[in-house]
Structure formats: structure tokens, C-alpha cells
Structure 1
């Protein structure tokens, strides 16, 4: 392994063939790469994969020779991955995750269970996911499911790492949307919500100016819902609020509204109606004019789907395929 601070990349023509890589690369070597990325230390990585330090150093040299590229450089903070190293590590994690899922799904099938499904969802689409999942569980009651609620950016990273089978989010926030297959499943409508004790809770009609001085609970900058709210303020010729509370958590949003009756928040109409139905919040009578981006059902491009993942997609197809403006079907729209 070279110790240069700034590695020079080999010409693309020098990249070994796929047959050469697959015949020489071993799973234990991939485990070593992941350990090096996690610890930044050859000694700690060697201990994790049960190698001596000289053995780990030799194994890393063999990996770099197999791939024809320098994957790490030495710095005063330890070993750091090069750009090519980050690429290889990402795929090493995908392979490891796929093997974990392989064993879990085999075990589940052998035990007579229904398999495993890992789903991601942004806050506004939670009701859509739970509806589709409930229908799927009626057909596959023994199915094991993991649900991760987060922002689109973080969910896409989890998809990249192979930690999710699919996510309900948006690919527009990614700089590489071509990495995903996405279908529009629902056009999002937004609502402004507040505590039932908010001073304007009983108003019949409101303008955005009536809430311009309110404390807003919002998504972080550059998220689609936040951008929609910014467009609303701009269209109304109002200064966007300076003192914001930023969160991606529905529970945090509800708790803030409950504890602070002066606060307001922007939510998807589905979540807002759910909260209002159970008396947690009220929907303020404010008409929003900006159109939000639709929710998408997103998978990794070129990644094969498990049977249960396809069944989950089919649940959306059955519900939305006959609605104008939605695009759920067997063929994913390339984004």
C-alpha cells in the first residue's frame, strides 16, 4: 500500500477485468475493507477480522493489486480511503448486507415464516406506507418488517448501502438520481397545523400574513416541504421566518405544538388529518398555492427485488394504478 497523500488514479484501461476481480477477491478481504473504513486503523481492523497486523497489511496490498488501485492513504489521523476506496467500501458493505439478508431470509423460509422486508419512509408518507403494509400483512402474516423513518437524503443513503429494500421518498434531492428507479405513487398535499389551543384555531379563513410572525416547525433547508413553504412566503411577498425549529420527527413536531400553542407547522395532509382525527392538532384554514413534489416508491437501479418487495409494490399498484396523475406499474420510471 502506497503512503502518498494524494494518490494518482490509474487509467481506466488498466482496470482489471471482472473475471480477474471475481476470481481473486475474497469475502474476508471485503470484511477487512469495511473494518478499515470503520476504524481507520490497520491494527484495530486486523483484530476485528482475526488477522495479525502484518497479515492485514499483506491482505490490503493484495486487494489493491486485485483492483489495480490505491484504496487508502496514511494521514496523521490514520488510514483514510481515497475516492476509489470509498467506492469499493460502499460495494463491500452492500455485499455484506446482502449476505446478512440472504441468511435471514433463508432462515425465515426454513422456519415457515414469511421472509423479511426493510422499508424507508419520509414523515409525510407514513400513512401511505402503513396502509399498504397492513394490506400486505393480511396476505403474509409471518412477514418480518423493519421500518426506518427519515429524510429522503438519508433514506437514499441507506438504499445505497443495501440496508433498505425500498423507500417512499423523493429522488430529486440526490445529485445522482440515475442510481434509482422511482415511480410516483401519490401527489402530496400540505396543510398548516397547530395546537387546538392556538389563538387562530377557530378562525374561518387565514392568509399567510396572519402567521408570518409565528414560530414555525419545519424540515431542514433544501428539503422539498421546506422549499414549498419558502415559495409560499416569496409569492406572498413576505420575509421567510428567521427563528425556525427544524426537525424531521413527527413526534417532536406534535410535542412542540402541544407544549407551545403559539407554534405552527407544515405537514402532509395525510399526517395532519390523522393528528386532527385524534385531537392532537387542528388544521388551520390557510390555502396553500404551491404544488409539492409527489411521493415516489424508490429502489436501487438494477437491484433485483425479493418476492415480498414486489408484493409490497403491487399493493400500491392495486390502489393507485387507476388514478390519473399517478404512475405505479410493473416498470419503474427511470429518474
Structure 2
């Protein structure tokens, strides 16, 4: 049994056929079939049921893949951690909470680094951002800090051996649809929000407030809609009287049918960048960092 055979089993299970798995792994179909035949003989079990519609894992095959997947995940982490400098220049990944400006910067990187084969922009929950950087999947992570979440977040970052630096500060904003009753105000307070329902980004564990990327607690909200996707939240805001909260670092929000309103009497926040301690920054990462600083600074100087 070897790593390549585990990858063959994973690929067949993912794609449902020996032919497609062989194509994805750049193997001949006879070679792939022989690899599975040898593995099944070694284990003394049948891993796949072959049908006219393709291949399906047997119960033993499913159990085998469950165990093999843990090994393959660790191998992937090792390969990512110790891949060559040339390999690092062929792909670039960042993990982030849901921010509009990350896509703007990646768009600029696409033109600057045409030799880079893969860009990955992983918008996700707070804990998954931290895990992604900790496990070397992403070079950087982008999060926010404020007085409410600082202690919990710094404890998490320290435990994951991650370094952080401040990229910029922001004033909390509420975002709503054009024509929303709150747009009659130049600024709003928490009391103004009490009559309206809130849209929030879903987190792994709502018991811990420092995971949240929303700037207003939902305990006093009339109603709450938890959503995992930024596009879904924008769609809900455009069609309802829900409100969301965020940094306000969005240029031309009217193109998304939204209005951003300053939220008074709430602490300022910080946009921070996290990275693995002692990890060397790649050329693409260095350019990303420069563009991120410039973007945040230019936005702050314009408001």
C-alpha cells in the first residue's frame, strides 16, 4: 500500500469512474485498474463496485477512504509546507472574512503575475481563516480586531503560532438597501436598529462572540438571519429591510444597491493581516501586501 494508491482510490470515489480518475491523475486506465487490483488483493477486500454507470465505493472501500483521507491531508500539508520556492510562485492563496476589497486586489494580481497557475481566495468563517493559515494552505489571512474580540482573537492567534499586523482602521457601518427607512439618517445608533432584523455571517460557534465578523450583537435584534455566503446576504439586503454591519470599506456600494451608514458610539476596528511566524513572504505575497496597504490607506483618506 502506498500514497499513490490512496490517491487513486480518492480520485475514483470523487469522480465516479476509473476512466475519469485516470485522466485526472495522468495515468493510463489499465495502469490505474492494476493499481486498484493490487491494493484490493493486498487488503483482501473489494473497494469498488463496477457498474455500467461507473464505480462506487463498497462499505469496506468507504471505510478505507475515511482512514486514507487523514493520511492524504497530512501529506498535502507537508507538501505545501516544504514545496520549492519555484512552486510557491506558481500558486497563491489567501483566506479572509467576507471583504469586498480582497477581490479587487486579486484582480490586479492576475494581471501582474500571469505565470501564476492558481489563485485561491477563500472567504470563510473566522476560525477557518486561522486554521487555513496555520496549516500553510494560505499565505495570509485577513480578519478584524476591536475592543470586544481582541482578547479572544489574540489568544487564538498565539495558540496557532501566527503573527499579525495592523493594516488599517475602520469606523463601523450599517449597510442597507437603497430606500431603506434608515437611509433617512446621516448616521445611526444601536437604538435606531432595534426595530429592524439583522443579517449576519454564520460562524462555527455562536457561543463565543470573538468569532463573529459582525459588529453588533444580535441579542437585542428583532430577528436574525444567519448566512454563510456574502452574495446571499447582499441579495437579502437588496430585497428586504434587513441590515448588516461591517467595516464600510467598499467603494461604490451603490453599484450593489446598498447604502453604508456610519454607526455611532461603537469602537473603531482594525483590519489585520495574519501569517505563519517565520514564513518567508513570496513575491506574489509581497505585492498583495503592498496593494492591500495602499487600498486601505486610500479608502481611509477618501472618507
State the TM-score bracket (shorter-chain normalisation).
Answer: 0.5 to 0.7
Q: Runs of 5+ in structure 2 lacking a partner?
A: 14-31, 45-59, 145-151, 298-303
What are the superposed Cα offsets for residues 164-213 of structure 1, whole Å, 9 maximum, x if unpaired?
22222369283764432222212243201111121232234543222213
State the distance in 1 between where 2:227 and 2:33 align: 36
CA RMSD of aligned residues (A): 4.6
2:252 is matched with: 274
**Corresponding residue SS for 1:186:** strand
Do structure 1's residue 240 and structure 2's residue 220 form an aligned pair?
yes
Do structure 1's residue 229 and structure 2's residue 216 form an aligned pair?
yes
State the distance in 2 between where 1:184 and 1:209 align: 30
**Corresponding residue SS for 2:267:** coil
Do structure 1's residue 50 and structure 2's residue 50 form an aligned pair?
no
1:200 is matched with: 182
Do structure 1's residue 184 and structure 2's residue 161 form an aligned pair?
no
2:95 is matched with: 120
Aligned CA distance change for structure 1 residues 207 and 308 (closer, same or farther; 3 Å): closer
What are the superposed Cα offsets for residues 260-294 of structure 1, whole Å, 9 maximum, x if unpaired?
1x2111122103x5313x261112354141333x2
Q: Is the 8 A contact 2:134 2:162 kept in 1?
A: no
Aligned CA distance change for structure 1 residues 268 and 175 (closer, same or farther; 3 Å): closer
1:251 is matched with: 231
State the distance in 2 between where 1:35 and 1:203 align: 60
Segment drifting more, 299-308 vs 207-216: 299-308
Q: Is the 8 A contact 1:90 1:161 kept in 2?
A: no
Q: TM-score, normalised by structure 1?
A: 0.57
Q: Is the 8 A contact 2:165 2:274 kept in 1?
A: yes
State the distance in 1 between where 2:296 and 2:234 align: 29
State the distance in 2 between where 1:169 and 1:217 align: 19
1:8 is matched with: none
Do structure 1's residue 289 and structure 2's residue 289 form an aligned pair?
no
Q: TM-score, normalised by structure 2?
A: 0.62
Do structure 1's residue 154 and structure 2's residue 128 form an aligned pair?
yes
State the distance in 1 between where 2:171 and 2:33 align: 49
State the distance in 2 between where 1:174 and 1:143 align: 32
State the distance in 2 between where 1:93 and 1:212 align: 48
**Corresponding residue SS for 2:35:** coil
Equivalenced residues, count: 251
State the distance in 1 between where 2:161 and 2:7 align: 22
Q: Runs of 5+ in structure 1 lacking a partner?
A: 1-27, 40-46, 59-74, 109-113, 234-238, 322-335
Out of 194, 198, 206, the residue aligned to residue 216 of structure 1 is 198
**Corresponding residue SS for 2:273:** strand
Q: Is the 8 A contact 1:35 1:48 kept in 2?
A: no
